[in-house]
A and B are shown apart, each in its own frame.
Chain A
């Protein structure tokens, strides 16, 4: 679908501003009411989802007039999808899709962001979203004697992801994951140096072709290796494989699981026992692309039914964030002895983004950090000692922000806590 296909949706926008806030029934006080980092930081209505839709609709009508400000608006959005959830509590219309399509359109028109161009150049050259990555993708596994899923038959392919593979500070997540899977006796493998970027973050940044390129590479490898189940610890990777690949009809019948879902299953199947005490008060941060954006793609094509209502034939089912992955990571945390989970105000489908998505991490690190700061403060307000997430990009952004601003809050990925408990 192209931007034009969302004209009707965009015209449905009634400028109610609901997309700026968490769902009204969930507002618990004066604080933590914002849900859209972009409008929260930049304040002009144009930075909100409603503003974006109205701008895009106007451009469809009157022609695309790019200005620096417009590009500033377009690229300062994490594409976190919170807006759509809040809107779709009441409205039947697509919100994130047209925003995303508008971004794709900008890139198509050559109106790119230089910082993102650089990242994509790196991707094209090195197959990773970690700019200036040194060494090889599989280096972290040296000496671990893991199965090579491209060569050996495994039940599960562990897709490690760019950041976890290349970032020295994040490789601990891969190692923890390996330990957990081994402990549970899973027959798994990695693709090692043959693994390549999922393309999800390139897609968020607006580079559809590069995304499709990556997707095809990955699916070729997966098909060739006969992989049926893919597990990843990266929320971006998860959403790419599970949702985006499906959207572009590339996924086939590959089963995609996030590591938190998989661990949850292992625990519930009795294959993994968490028996070491981890005394820690934690709060859990839902990564956008595991939570609300992790809900399955719904294939639909139809026509508007003529008449008074914005309805379609066949009826359109909207992805409202209802079927995201919310409980498995929480269930995992709850099954770690000693861990006490206290929820923040903004959780699950209306969680506040960590700030790292949509290319913002690369194009405007200050904004990414500003967004993280909000979250860290919110996490702190629960009395938790640590914020637990389930995505390396979130962890990295939180950790760096804490380093920059100082806070006693610790940051963990869920696999790190599980690792402590086995």
Chain B
């Protein structure tokens, strides 16, 4: 147990809280994980604070739970897995350290949200490859470390993108910088010769950032991260294609990505599109939903510095060939939602309240990676399970995001529910459990195992877990980093 005075000494009294109300806030989230109350919440101001906290934790065997985004949390990963934990809330580390137009890279501390970084990057002429409508409090680093899918798959060359480099304090207390940032020299010394922290691999043969991503804070605490950015287009034209046939849209989207003709692109079902774009709740929701096709593929064609109009027109020509072949039409609006509206929305974080909460107040996400060929079957299974669980399948949001330049896709089911309605809550909870199991049987790959289902997921691959365990022992020998998460 870390003594209060020690924490106060590190971060100052104002940044340590033992207040019940605060602790309660961190003891649970919207997910179904068991509530576990932390001992205190500490808000470090910089990397040196973090290192001191980690060292203290090692000496006292105190579990640390790193949190960078603000509430509401959804996945249970920031709820302590065991008692006696200290929440390391990084939200005060809010520096945007660097934005470099020429090298297309930005560098931020963990507390920086999308809402904060977007304008700073834009000012320089670049932008982030965003996840779909993150909540306002979501931090950039939080999203990237979780390997959240991004909406411009064309620019996601590797699943670790857009992450470039990180500075991390491992559970062992050792400081490390990954990729180009490792050195030679400090970050500032690298800047002095014109270096930025961009190349992700190394040092040596390893790709250390991959170990930290997806770890849910179990390997160490990231104190800054750099990420690749893309150039702001000089011209953009968004389109939507509606269809009742998902297969057709999947075929279309895979060609759009394969030929690198589109930037933002994804598929939403009518429930999700309505959940995002309903303006007047609750009345407007059903109307909007009814006006929408079952599935909507959204994409943007863009031009940059040189001959943007020509670029767009050449791509549109190319896309028209595809739509004609598939017998669909690219248009400027689907039902009551315009393509322009979608584009504007998805280039920012979600407005308040967070879109997933607008409909019913809570939402359980079930998401996994898969390949196009298997998607229909998996959605079918999910629909059946929902109906069986007395959850109307048509109430379920579906988000399909091609990833890594088309080598797979992220499929997400959003189960909206009323948290105040215990029976609905229980139904969704049961559905979530059974769904993960059944979807795994259908080859869904739960690459980011959270909360209650993590064990079930990891049990499928004992060989990988055995290796991960060895790595974990090295980087967090006392197992102080977010114990109980992933498979640790």
Direct contact of A and B (CB under 8 A): no
Interface residue ranges, A against B (CB under 8 Å):
none
